[in-house]
Structure 1
């Protein structure tokens, strides 16, 4: 991974450099007890912890490094509604009943974020508005269909824009049109997850950092062990996502870590406002997509590119700079202050997986690059299930989940081969 900062424990990102909290929480030492032990202090784990703590459960969260160390503290900071697969694809794949139920929850993740930011006064630079842009007429046709599909699920506020309609939002000649979502938005993700973690603690929850879990014993009663301590609980929630490693092989075989890269320019002043006048966040419609936005201090944060398997590219700057300059030629020659990488968990179906390993051990992972909102929703569903209402969790848990063909040895080359086809389609505009 990208080199960590000397004291923060996080990778040397723009987010870590501007995080409100720098000091580490203590590590777990000795034996503890709680109603629920949660593995992983990213968005999923912290969302579940807050849901449960608000309901009166005693909660302990164990984090291997720092709150938000993984994708939750490194991502593009974009609030994108829905899932990594379109709603009509989900209905076609899993049936109309599942499609309706999943569609009914498609806006909930973003609503959870907004509600918690307001309730707990979390300072995370939350800005409304998201824009999905098309690079070809074929992609524009897809956006027109997306508008109709979302309207059928009750979200009628999406605004279709032609090339001239993009001008108030993004100053780039690359795009032929777009779809504006007023219920989208962007924020500082590390400050969000840290603020939510503080909210957990305000409700009586406890969080231990630098406490990597080395063993989970499910029966007869759950015990979660680290190198220096253990937690006995009634329930365990496994929320390690791309950073779960080999802790639970039955989970690791169903996901693949994938890295994505982000650059942050120097502060640009008026130029940043000229390039993104309305301050919405933007992502394109390509299979391997670009995403970008303004930061609160006037930088352009530009992300894109993927590396299957989770390794860093040889040079993050060389991988992302050409993409950024193609979109915004005016950024040629300007300084890049930060460049970092982070992993998300990809599933074979590109759809998140949530369910049970035993009556007392639950898991959620595999948001497949669409995690800021989905993790908040699924964390809440984990909390609901522990509290005794599992009907919404079971909508997801009842779906078929598949391992990657070829196992860990072949999942990367086979996925790369498949991606070439879709990248070719993007280049050809088909």
Structure 2
């Protein structure tokens, strides 16, 4: 089954609150016939859009292809959180790659966060960006770890934007009976993810990028130049960028072995009105410390946007609202009967170590994906880093490409069942508080 079409209507955004409030663009025509470009990019999410924009600004001719619509995948469906650091915490990175490399990765992550903010400001992208992301703990052990981590970042990386929250302080930020404390990162942010993607697309088109939607890539003939083939045309390009994340399919076996698609789900409640004060009295985003993370924030029209639950099959569940209502009712029992106006799913890419996978799969083909739920900043930055690598400035790309990223055990046929077993184990640990 093709993930590009397994859960969605061809050429249409999913029925999400994001799509309902998007600053839409008219569809771009599918690729027809032959084109020539310096760079052909496959996938028009944050990665592909950022790469296209930066290459065009550097004077390269760029063709950008997407099988569906701009920002159609995880880029237009996610929780909208722009976090600090990598997906893996810095202390874990230090243990994995050593202090010097961990310091480089922290600096790159700060670059990623600042890049998003600068692109939004520089291109006047209307995506309701607002400061503040909190991480919460449901046990004293989790809260203690979060507080120690904030101190670690302050002491080792001079990162002093984090406020530690005891139970009373957290209740003034997020009055959930499930959370005992946490931290609040004032330099992290949250935004409307689809409008951010569409803003990048406007900037890329204005810079001269040739964009083609409804143009699924069926095969890439490697060579110098390479040829990227769709059903109705092809692009001959000196360089190719794969920016497909969870929608790669069988285009590249090396990447597919290391980046696995999984599904995540979000709901949007009815506007809460005065009940907002009982949910998020401060307009911040929140993510908790569970292995299968719950994450939420307010929309600009006063709804709770709540994400929770994962699945590892191709198909979304038949009742997404019921699936997400369950964890939302644990975090906010008072909302167990609230009306849900929108419910949607999305497919993202994860790696074994939850670190992004950047690679040169051949001399002139680059790939970036596997952001593991940390893609707003990391994917945008990965696109810029691939653009810089093509131009000849590859230090940042090489640092991320050197990260250890092993293939999933069992290959495509067994990796999903094995992951389900692992996730069930971690879900049980969450329930019993280990």
TM-score tier after normalising by the smaller chain length: over 0.9
Indicate the larger mover: 237-246 or 55-64: 55-64
Indicate the larger mover: 417-426 or 348-357: 417-426
> Deviation of residue 4 (structure 1)?
4.5
1:173-223 CA-partner distances (Å, limit 9, x unpaired): 111101100111111100100000100111111211001011112213111
Pairing 1:390–2:399 present = no
Pairing 1:96–2:99 present = yes
Contact 1:37/1:231 (<8 A) preserved: yes
- Take 1:361 and 1:280, find their aligned partners in 2: how far apart are those partners? 39
Pairing 1:263–2:267 present = yes
Pairing 1:222–2:226 present = yes
Q: 81, 84, 87: which one pairs with 1:81? A: 84
> Deviation of residue 313 (structure 1)?
2.2
Contact 2:86/2:106 (<8 A) preserved: no
- Take 2:7 and 2:234, find their aligned partners in 1: how far apart are those partners? 30
Q: 25, 40, 45: which one pairs with 2:43? A: 40
1:320 is matched with 324
Matches within 5 A, 1:59-208: 59-151=62-154, 152-208=156-212
1:314-334 CA-partner distances (Å, limit 9, x unpaired): 421221112112222232322
Matches within 5 A, 1:18-37: 18-37=21-40
Matches within 5 A, 1:270-419: 270-419=274-423
- Take 1:2 and 1:110, find their aligned partners in 2: how far apart are those partners? 32
Pairing 1:51–2:78 present = no
* CA 1:380–1:302: 2 relative to 1, 3 Å: same
Count, aligned residues: 429
Contact 1:310/1:343 (<8 A) preserved: no
- Take 2:172 and 2:311, find their aligned partners in 1: how far apart are those partners? 33
Contact 1:262/1:303 (<8 A) preserved: yes
- Take 1:329 and 1:142, find their aligned partners in 2: how far apart are those partners? 26
The residue matched to 2:117 in structure 1 has which SS? Answer: helix
The residue matched to 2:109 in structure 1 has which SS? Answer: coil
| TM-score using structure 2 length | 0.95
- Take 1:337 and 1:97, find their aligned partners in 2: how far apart are those partners? 48
> Deviation of residue 425 (structure 1)?
2.7
2:427 is matched with 423
Give structure 1 stretches of 5+ with no counterpart: none
- Take 1:166 and 1:155, find their aligned partners in 2: how far apart are those partners? 21
1:327-386 CA-partner distances (Å, limit 9, x unpaired): 222323221111110111111121110010112110001111211111112111111101
Contact 2:355/2:403 (<8 A) preserved: no
* CA 1:62–1:87: 2 relative to 1, 3 Å: same
Matches within 5 A, 1:235-274: 235-274=239-278
Contact 1:354/1:363 (<8 A) preserved: yes
Indicate the larger mover: 82-91 or 416-425: 416-425
Give structure 2 stretches of 5+ with no counterpart: none
Indicate the larger mover: 22-31 or 295-304: 22-31
> Deviation of residue 97 (structure 1)?
2.5
The residue matched to 1:52 in structure 2 has which SS? Answer: helix
> Deviation of residue 273 (structure 1)?
4.2
The residue matched to 2:173 in structure 1 has which SS? Answer: coil
- Take 2:348 and 2:312, find their aligned partners in 1: how far apart are those partners? 10
1:155-176 CA-partner distances (Å, limit 9, x unpaired): 1211100011113311211111
Indicate the larger mover: 32-41 or 88-97: 88-97
Contact 1:2/1:11 (<8 A) preserved: no
Contact 2:86/2:105 (<8 A) preserved: no
Pairing 1:211–2:211 present = no
- Take 1:98 and 1:310, find their aligned partners in 2: how far apart are those partners? 36
Indicate the larger mover: 351-360 or 217-226: 217-226
